[in-house]
Structure 1
């Protein structure tokens, strides 16, 4: 029995600098499409975006904020 394809989303929260986040985004993009110069379309259609948390929306990843605070206290 085969499954029908549909849209799936993987969310990844990170406590990083913008530069680190961009580097990670690029690494993920290369995992999804190792040959960016290939003839379209990709065998698996995909999209990637990079969003910074908006403090007015509340914390989406409070555990990351707490972890970063604790790590900062241990490694000043």
Structure 2
């Protein structure tokens, strides 16, 4: 028995510049819809959005990313 489709959210936190974040978003969109010129609708409806940390509902949803970025700063040549 299959279940009915519903909304799912996949979250990805990244520590990046705005340009890097936009490039990553474009790559993800390319994975979701590898043929942007196809006849609508998409087989699996989707949407993507890019949010800066200050616009997130949670105060600090990815503290481990900041910690990891700080630690890696000290080991990069």
Structure 1 Cα separation of the partners of residues 59 and 7 of structure 2? 26
TM-score, length basis structure 2: 0.89
The equivalent of 1:72 in structure 2 is 73
Flag as ranges the 4+ runs of structure 1 deviating above 6 A.
Answer: none
In structure 2, the partner of 1:37 is 37
* Unaligned runs of at least 5 residues, structure 1: none
Q: Which runs of 5+ in 2 are unaligned?
A: none
Aligned residues: 75
The aligned counterpart of 2:61 is 60
Distance in 2, Cα, partners of 1:46 & 1:13:
18
After TM superposition, the structure 1 stretch with the greater mean CA deviation from structure 2, 42-51 or 31-40, is: 31-40
